[in-house]
Structure 1
Amino acid sequence: MIKQFSLGLLAAALSTSVLADTYKLDPDHTNARFAIGHFGTSTNHGGFYNIEGELQLDAAKGTGQLKIVIPTDSVQTGNTGFDGHLKSADLLNVEKYPTMTFESTAWTFENNQPQSVTGNLTLMGKTNPVTLNADSFNCYESPMFEGATVCGGDFSATIDRTQWGLDLFLGPVPAEVRLEIQVEGIKQ
Protein backbone atom coordinates (compact mmCIF):
# COMPACT_ATOMS: atom_id res chain seq x y z
CA MET A 1 0.00 0.00 0.00
CA ILE A 2 2.76 2.45 0.95
CA LYS A 3 4.70 1.48 -2.18
CA GLN A 4 1.65 2.17 -4.41
CA PHE A 5 1.04 5.50 -2.65
CA SER A 6 4.72 6.49 -3.11
CA LEU A 7 4.66 5.51 -6.77
CA GLY A 8 1.47 7.53 -7.24
CA LEU A 9 3.05 10.60 -5.64
CA LEU A 10 6.17 10.18 -7.77
CA ALA A 11 4.11 9.86 -10.94
CA ALA A 12 2.10 12.97 -10.02
CA ALA A 13 5.26 14.93 -9.25
CA LEU A 14 6.89 13.90 -12.52
CA SER A 15 3.82 14.71 -14.59
CA THR A 16 3.48 18.21 -13.13
CA SER A 17 7.20 18.89 -13.39
CA VAL A 18 7.21 18.43 -17.15
CA LEU A 19 4.05 20.40 -17.80
CA ALA A 20 4.53 23.99 -18.90
CA ASP A 21 1.70 26.45 -19.28
CA THR A 22 0.36 26.52 -22.84
CA TYR A 23 -0.63 29.73 -24.62
CA LYS A 24 -2.41 29.88 -27.97
CA LEU A 25 -1.04 32.77 -30.02
CA ASP A 26 -3.49 35.62 -30.54
CA PRO A 27 -3.33 36.59 -34.25
CA ASP A 28 -4.50 40.13 -33.38
CA HIS A 29 -1.41 40.64 -31.21
CA THR A 30 1.14 38.52 -33.06
CA ASN A 31 3.03 39.67 -36.15
CA ALA A 32 6.45 39.52 -37.80
CA ARG A 33 7.92 42.70 -39.25
CA PHE A 34 11.04 43.20 -41.33
CA ALA A 35 13.31 46.03 -42.44
CA ILE A 36 15.83 45.89 -45.29
CA GLY A 37 17.96 48.53 -46.95
CA HIS A 38 16.89 49.73 -50.39
CA PHE A 39 19.70 50.58 -52.81
CA GLY A 40 21.58 52.55 -50.16
CA THR A 41 18.91 55.26 -49.99
CA SER A 42 16.24 54.21 -47.53
CA THR A 43 14.81 51.24 -45.64
CA ASN A 44 11.87 49.16 -46.82
CA HIS A 45 9.55 47.95 -44.06
CA GLY A 46 6.81 45.34 -44.09
CA GLY A 47 5.12 42.71 -42.03
CA PHE A 48 3.32 39.38 -41.92
CA TYR A 49 -0.01 38.94 -40.16
CA ASN A 50 -2.65 36.29 -39.33
CA ILE A 51 0.05 34.29 -37.60
CA GLU A 52 -0.85 31.13 -35.70
CA GLY A 53 1.09 29.13 -33.19
CA GLU A 54 1.66 28.14 -29.61
CA LEU A 55 3.87 29.16 -26.72
CA GLN A 56 4.68 26.83 -23.84
CA LEU A 57 6.40 28.39 -20.88
CA ASP A 58 7.68 27.46 -17.45
CA ALA A 59 9.78 30.48 -16.47
CA ALA A 60 10.51 29.12 -13.00
CA LYS A 61 12.20 26.09 -14.57
CA GLY A 62 13.70 28.07 -17.44
CA THR A 63 11.95 26.16 -20.20
CA GLY A 64 9.92 27.21 -23.17
CA GLN A 65 8.72 26.15 -26.57
CA LEU A 66 7.52 28.45 -29.35
CA LYS A 67 6.07 27.49 -32.70
CA ILE A 68 4.97 30.18 -35.14
CA VAL A 69 3.30 29.56 -38.52
CA ILE A 70 3.42 32.62 -40.78
CA PRO A 71 1.29 32.79 -43.95
CA THR A 72 3.63 34.28 -46.57
CA ASP A 73 0.88 35.83 -48.64
CA SER A 74 -0.10 38.00 -45.65
CA VAL A 75 2.92 40.22 -46.37
CA GLN A 76 2.05 43.92 -46.35
CA THR A 77 4.29 46.93 -46.97
CA GLY A 78 1.76 49.67 -47.63
CA ASN A 79 2.57 49.43 -51.35
CA THR A 80 0.45 46.93 -53.32
CA GLY A 81 2.97 46.78 -56.17
CA PHE A 82 5.81 45.92 -53.79
CA ASP A 83 3.56 43.42 -51.98
CA GLY A 84 2.93 41.69 -55.31
CA HIS A 85 6.64 41.58 -56.10
CA LEU A 86 7.43 40.12 -52.66
CA LYS A 87 4.81 37.40 -53.25
CA SER A 88 6.16 36.52 -56.71
CA ALA A 89 8.49 33.65 -57.64
CA ASP A 90 11.35 36.22 -57.64
CA LEU A 91 11.17 36.46 -53.87
CA LEU A 92 8.84 34.64 -51.42
CA ASN A 93 7.13 32.48 -54.07
CA VAL A 94 3.97 32.25 -51.98
CA GLU A 95 2.27 29.82 -54.37
CA LYS A 96 4.99 27.22 -53.81
CA TYR A 97 5.76 28.16 -50.17
CA PRO A 98 2.52 29.36 -48.52
CA THR A 99 3.99 29.40 -45.00
CA MET A 100 7.20 29.97 -43.15
CA THR A 101 7.73 28.62 -39.65
CA PHE A 102 9.84 29.26 -36.61
CA GLU A 103 10.18 26.50 -34.03
CA SER A 104 12.29 26.99 -30.94
CA THR A 105 14.98 24.55 -29.87
CA ALA A 106 16.42 26.34 -26.80
CA TRP A 107 15.60 29.24 -24.47
CA THR A 108 17.82 31.23 -22.15
CA PHE A 109 16.41 32.85 -19.00
CA GLU A 110 17.69 35.28 -16.41
CA ASN A 111 15.67 35.93 -13.23
CA ASN A 112 12.73 33.95 -14.70
CA GLN A 113 12.67 36.23 -17.76
CA PRO A 114 13.40 34.99 -21.31
CA GLN A 115 16.58 36.53 -22.72
CA SER A 116 16.72 34.72 -26.05
CA VAL A 117 15.05 31.99 -28.05
CA THR A 118 17.03 29.88 -30.49
CA GLY A 119 15.21 27.90 -33.12
CA ASN A 120 14.85 26.93 -36.74
CA LEU A 121 13.37 29.27 -39.34
CA THR A 122 12.00 27.46 -42.38
CA LEU A 123 11.45 29.65 -45.43
CA MET A 124 11.44 28.79 -49.11
CA GLY A 125 11.94 25.11 -48.26
CA LYS A 126 15.20 25.80 -46.40
CA THR A 127 15.75 25.61 -42.65
CA ASN A 128 18.42 27.56 -40.78
CA PRO A 129 19.02 28.38 -37.11
CA VAL A 130 18.05 31.82 -35.82
CA THR A 131 18.43 33.30 -32.35
CA LEU A 132 15.80 35.83 -31.36
CA ASN A 133 16.66 38.30 -28.59
CA ALA A 134 13.88 38.88 -26.08
CA ASP A 135 13.64 42.68 -26.10
CA SER A 136 10.67 42.59 -23.71
CA PHE A 137 8.50 39.91 -22.13
CA ASN A 138 5.64 39.95 -19.64
CA CYS A 139 2.60 38.02 -18.45
CA TYR A 140 -0.58 39.76 -17.25
CA GLU A 141 -4.26 39.19 -16.54
CA SER A 142 -6.04 40.48 -19.64
CA PRO A 143 -9.28 42.44 -19.32
CA MET A 144 -9.88 41.70 -23.03
CA PHE A 145 -9.96 37.94 -22.37
CA GLU A 146 -12.03 37.91 -19.15
CA GLY A 147 -8.98 37.93 -16.89
CA ALA A 148 -7.17 35.10 -18.68
CA THR A 149 -3.39 35.15 -18.40
CA VAL A 150 -1.64 36.47 -21.49
CA CYS A 151 2.12 36.14 -22.00
CA GLY A 152 4.19 37.61 -24.74
CA GLY A 153 6.90 39.92 -25.85
CA ASP A 154 8.96 41.49 -28.56
CA PHE A 155 11.77 39.46 -30.11
CA SER A 156 14.34 40.55 -32.68
CA ALA A 157 17.19 39.27 -34.82
CA THR A 158 19.16 40.15 -37.92
CA ILE A 159 19.31 37.37 -40.51
CA ASP A 160 21.17 36.84 -43.77
CA ARG A 161 18.46 36.42 -46.43
CA THR A 162 20.80 34.53 -48.74
CA GLN A 163 20.69 31.53 -46.38
CA TRP A 164 17.13 30.97 -47.65
CA GLY A 165 17.96 31.63 -51.31
CA LEU A 166 16.66 35.21 -51.29
CA ASP A 167 19.44 36.86 -53.26
CA LEU A 168 17.64 39.13 -55.74
CA PHE A 169 19.50 42.46 -56.14
CA LEU A 170 22.20 41.30 -53.72
CA GLY A 171 24.73 44.11 -53.48
CA PRO A 172 22.58 47.20 -53.85
CA VAL A 173 20.13 45.54 -51.47
CA PRO A 174 22.00 44.12 -48.45
CA ALA A 175 21.82 40.50 -47.33
CA GLU A 176 20.96 41.56 -43.77
CA VAL A 177 17.27 41.75 -42.84
CA ARG A 178 16.13 43.01 -39.46
CA LEU A 179 13.28 40.91 -37.97
CA GLU A 180 10.98 42.01 -35.17
CA ILE A 181 8.45 39.47 -33.95
CA GLN A 182 5.63 40.39 -31.58
CA VAL A 183 4.07 37.39 -29.81
CA GLU A 184 1.15 37.28 -27.40
CA GLY A 185 -0.57 34.11 -26.33
CA ILE A 186 -3.65 33.37 -24.23
CA LYS A 187 -3.29 30.70 -21.55
CA GLN A 188 -5.26 27.58 -22.39
Structure 2
Amino acid sequence: MKLLKNTVTLAVLAGLGTFGFAANAATYEIDSDHANVRFYVDHFGTTTNSGGFYGISGVLEYAPEEQKGFAGITIPMGSLETGFKPFTKHLRSADFFNVEKYPSAYFQSTDWVFDGEKVKEVKGNLTLVGQTHPVTLTATKFNCYDNPILKKRSCGGDFETTIDRTKWGINTFADNGMMKDVKIVVQIEATPKD
Protein backbone atom coordinates (compact mmCIF):
# COMPACT_ATOMS: atom_id res chain seq x y z
CA MET A 1 0.00 0.00 0.00
CA LYS A 2 2.85 2.36 0.81
CA LEU A 3 4.39 1.68 -2.61
CA LEU A 4 1.08 2.49 -4.29
CA LYS A 5 0.79 5.78 -2.44
CA ASN A 6 4.36 6.70 -3.33
CA THR A 7 3.71 5.90 -6.99
CA VAL A 8 0.59 8.03 -7.03
CA THR A 9 2.42 10.90 -5.34
CA LEU A 10 5.25 10.73 -7.88
CA ALA A 11 2.75 10.76 -10.73
CA VAL A 12 1.02 13.83 -9.32
CA LEU A 13 4.32 15.64 -8.88
CA ALA A 14 5.32 14.75 -12.42
CA GLY A 15 2.04 16.19 -13.65
CA LEU A 16 2.52 19.41 -11.75
CA GLY A 17 6.04 19.78 -13.05
CA THR A 18 5.06 19.02 -16.63
CA PHE A 19 2.09 21.34 -17.03
CA GLY A 20 2.02 23.79 -14.14
CA PHE A 21 -1.76 24.13 -14.33
CA ALA A 22 -2.64 22.31 -11.11
CA ALA A 23 -4.49 25.31 -9.68
CA ASN A 24 -7.13 24.98 -12.40
CA ALA A 25 -7.03 21.19 -12.85
CA ALA A 26 -9.08 18.62 -11.01
CA THR A 27 -7.03 15.70 -9.67
CA TYR A 28 -8.56 12.25 -9.84
CA GLU A 29 -7.37 8.89 -8.55
CA ILE A 30 -7.77 5.94 -10.91
CA ASP A 31 -10.42 3.47 -9.76
CA SER A 32 -8.74 0.05 -9.97
CA ASP A 33 -12.15 -1.62 -10.28
CA HIS A 34 -12.81 0.33 -13.48
CA ALA A 35 -9.38 0.21 -15.09
CA ASN A 36 -7.48 -2.37 -17.10
CA VAL A 37 -4.98 -2.75 -19.91
CA ARG A 38 -5.68 -5.44 -22.52
CA PHE A 39 -3.58 -6.60 -25.43
CA TYR A 40 -4.18 -8.45 -28.71
CA VAL A 41 -1.50 -10.09 -30.87
CA ASP A 42 -1.68 -12.24 -33.98
CA HIS A 43 -0.82 -15.88 -33.29
CA PHE A 44 1.19 -17.11 -36.26
CA GLY A 45 -1.43 -15.96 -38.75
CA THR A 46 -4.19 -18.12 -37.27
CA THR A 47 -5.98 -16.62 -34.28
CA THR A 48 -5.56 -13.56 -32.07
CA ASN A 49 -4.14 -14.12 -28.61
CA SER A 50 -5.29 -11.75 -25.91
CA GLY A 51 -4.78 -11.02 -22.25
CA GLY A 52 -5.15 -8.29 -19.69
CA PHE A 53 -3.61 -6.56 -16.71
CA TYR A 54 -5.78 -5.52 -13.77
CA GLY A 55 -5.49 -3.54 -10.54
CA ILE A 56 -4.27 -0.50 -12.48
CA SER A 57 -3.49 2.52 -10.27
CA GLY A 58 -2.41 6.12 -10.68
CA VAL A 59 -3.73 9.62 -11.20
CA LEU A 60 -5.50 11.69 -13.79
CA GLU A 61 -5.42 15.49 -13.95
CA TYR A 62 -7.84 17.21 -16.26
CA ALA A 63 -8.39 20.87 -17.10
CA PRO A 64 -10.85 20.93 -20.03
CA GLU A 65 -11.05 24.72 -20.09
CA GLU A 66 -7.31 24.81 -20.78
CA GLN A 67 -7.40 21.67 -22.93
CA LYS A 68 -4.70 20.06 -20.85
CA GLY A 69 -4.38 16.84 -18.93
CA PHE A 70 -2.00 14.44 -17.28
CA ALA A 71 -2.14 10.69 -16.68
CA GLY A 72 0.31 8.71 -14.57
CA ILE A 73 -0.51 5.00 -14.62
CA THR A 74 1.07 2.00 -12.87
CA ILE A 75 0.40 -1.46 -14.33
CA PRO A 76 1.05 -4.45 -12.00
CA MET A 77 2.50 -6.99 -14.41
CA GLY A 78 1.83 -9.91 -12.06
CA SER A 79 -1.90 -9.35 -12.58
CA LEU A 80 -1.59 -10.68 -16.14
CA GLU A 81 -4.35 -13.11 -17.08
CA THR A 82 -5.09 -14.81 -20.41
CA GLY A 83 -7.61 -17.47 -19.39
CA PHE A 84 -5.08 -20.24 -20.14
CA LYS A 85 -2.66 -20.93 -17.28
CA PRO A 86 0.31 -22.27 -19.32
CA PHE A 87 0.13 -19.27 -21.68
CA THR A 88 -0.16 -16.84 -18.79
CA LYS A 89 2.86 -18.46 -17.10
CA HIS A 90 4.90 -18.23 -20.31
CA LEU A 91 4.04 -14.55 -20.83
CA ARG A 92 5.08 -13.81 -17.24
CA SER A 93 8.45 -15.49 -17.81
CA ALA A 94 11.70 -13.91 -19.01
CA ASP A 95 10.73 -14.85 -22.58
CA PHE A 96 8.21 -12.01 -22.57
CA PHE A 97 7.36 -9.68 -19.65
CA ASN A 98 9.87 -10.99 -17.10
CA VAL A 99 7.50 -10.18 -14.27
CA GLU A 100 9.88 -11.31 -11.54
CA LYS A 101 12.48 -8.74 -12.57
CA TYR A 102 10.05 -6.04 -13.76
CA PRO A 103 6.92 -6.26 -11.57
CA SER A 104 5.44 -2.98 -12.83
CA ALA A 105 5.05 -1.09 -16.08
CA TYR A 106 4.34 2.64 -16.25
CA PHE A 107 2.74 5.14 -18.56
CA GLN A 108 3.25 8.87 -18.08
CA SER A 109 1.61 11.34 -20.43
CA THR A 110 3.53 14.23 -21.96
CA ASP A 111 0.81 15.90 -24.05
CA TRP A 112 -2.95 15.77 -24.56
CA VAL A 113 -4.35 16.53 -28.01
CA PHE A 114 -7.89 17.86 -28.41
CA ASP A 115 -10.27 18.00 -31.37
CA GLY A 116 -12.55 20.87 -30.44
CA GLU A 117 -13.66 20.05 -26.90
CA LYS A 118 -13.00 16.33 -27.22
CA VAL A 119 -9.88 14.49 -26.10
CA LYS A 120 -8.35 13.05 -29.28
CA GLU A 121 -4.98 11.62 -28.22
CA VAL A 122 -2.79 11.25 -25.17
CA LYS A 123 0.93 11.16 -25.94
CA GLY A 124 3.41 9.85 -23.44
CA ASN A 125 6.10 7.35 -22.48
CA LEU A 126 5.58 3.67 -21.76
CA THR A 127 8.10 1.93 -19.51
CA LEU A 128 7.94 -1.83 -20.02
CA VAL A 129 10.54 -4.48 -19.06
CA GLY A 130 12.90 -1.70 -18.03
CA GLN A 131 12.81 0.24 -21.29
CA THR A 132 10.99 3.49 -22.03
CA HIS A 133 9.67 4.54 -25.44
CA PRO A 134 7.04 7.05 -26.63
CA VAL A 135 3.52 5.93 -27.49
CA THR A 136 0.38 7.73 -28.58
CA LEU A 137 -2.95 6.59 -27.16
CA THR A 138 -5.95 7.38 -29.38
CA ALA A 139 -9.10 8.16 -27.41
CA THR A 140 -12.07 6.20 -28.72
CA LYS A 141 -14.12 7.94 -26.02
CA PHE A 142 -13.57 10.17 -23.00
CA ASN A 143 -16.12 11.77 -20.71
CA CYS A 144 -16.77 13.18 -17.25
CA TYR A 145 -20.05 12.58 -15.43
CA ASP A 146 -21.70 12.88 -12.03
CA ASN A 147 -21.27 9.39 -10.59
CA PRO A 148 -24.63 8.47 -8.98
CA ILE A 149 -23.09 5.80 -6.75
CA LEU A 150 -20.03 7.65 -5.47
CA LYS A 151 -21.75 11.06 -5.50
CA LYS A 152 -18.64 12.50 -7.13
CA ARG A 153 -17.58 13.74 -10.53
CA SER A 154 -15.82 10.92 -12.41
CA CYS A 155 -13.77 11.05 -15.62
CA GLY A 156 -12.42 8.35 -17.86
CA GLY A 157 -12.27 6.79 -21.26
CA ASP A 158 -11.07 4.09 -23.62
CA PHE A 159 -7.77 4.44 -25.46
CA GLU A 160 -6.00 2.37 -28.11
CA THR A 161 -2.52 2.09 -29.57
CA THR A 162 -0.38 -0.42 -31.43
CA ILE A 163 3.24 -0.97 -30.44
CA ASP A 164 6.14 -2.92 -31.88
CA ARG A 165 7.01 -5.15 -28.93
CA THR A 166 10.59 -5.63 -30.14
CA LYS A 167 11.33 -1.96 -29.33
CA TRP A 168 11.02 -2.99 -25.68
CA GLY A 169 13.22 -6.06 -26.24
CA ILE A 170 10.34 -8.57 -26.31
CA ASN A 171 11.61 -10.58 -29.26
CA THR A 172 10.45 -14.14 -28.56
CA PHE A 173 9.11 -15.83 -31.72
CA ALA A 174 9.33 -12.55 -33.66
CA ASP A 175 11.45 -14.31 -36.27
CA ASN A 176 9.17 -17.35 -36.36
CA GLY A 177 5.87 -15.83 -37.39
CA MET A 178 4.46 -14.31 -34.20
CA MET A 179 3.73 -10.71 -35.04
CA LYS A 180 5.73 -7.86 -33.55
CA ASP A 181 2.75 -5.50 -33.52
CA VAL A 182 0.59 -5.64 -30.43
CA LYS A 183 -2.70 -3.78 -30.09
CA ILE A 184 -3.19 -2.30 -26.63
CA VAL A 185 -6.51 -1.11 -25.23
CA VAL A 186 -6.46 1.00 -22.06
CA GLN A 187 -9.61 1.59 -20.03
CA ILE A 188 -9.48 4.00 -17.09
CA GLU A 189 -12.01 5.69 -14.88
CA ALA A 190 -11.02 8.02 -12.07
CA THR A 191 -12.68 9.87 -9.19
CA PRO A 192 -11.54 12.89 -7.18
CA LYS A 193 -8.95 12.23 -4.49
CA ASP A 194 -10.31 12.47 -0.94
> Is the counterpart of residue 62 in structure 1 residue 74 in structure 2?
no
1:79-118 residue pairs with structure 2 within 5 A? 79-118=84-123
User: Which whole-Å CA distance do the structure 1 matches of 2:21 and 2:178 have between them?
Assistant: 50
- Relative to 1, partners in 2 of residues 1:17 and 1:89: Cα closer, same or farther, differing over 3 Å? closer
Q: Which residue of 1 aligns with 2:139?
A: 134
Q: Which residue of 2 aligns with 1:160?
A: 164
Q: Which residue of 1 aligns with 2:51?
A: 46
**Letter of the structure 2 residue corresponding to residue 97 of structure 1:** Y
User: Which whole-Å CA distance do the structure 1 matches of 2:105 and 2:141 have between them?
Assistant: 23
Mark the runs of 5 or more structure 2 residues left unpaired by the alignment. Answer: 1-19
Q: Report percent identity of matched pairs.
A: 46
Q: How many residues align?
A: 173
- Greater C-alpha Rg: 1
Q: Which residue of 2 aligns with 1:124?
A: 129
Alignment root-mean-square deviation, CA: 1.3
Deviation sequence 1:79-108 (CA, Å, 0-9, x none): 111110011111111110000000000001
Runs of 4+ in structure 1 displaced over 2 angstroms?
A: 15-19
Deviation sequence 1:110-145 (CA, Å, 0-9, x none): 222210000000001100000000100111111221
Deviation sequence 1:2-59 (CA, Å, 0-9, x none): xxxxxxxxxxxxx987431011000010000000000110000110000101000001
Alignment equivalent of 1:33, drawn from 30, 38, 56: 38
Q: Which residue of 1 aligns with 2:17?
A: none
Q: Which residue of 2 aligns with 1:24?
A: 29
**Letter of the structure 2 residue corresponding to residue 93 of structure 1:** N
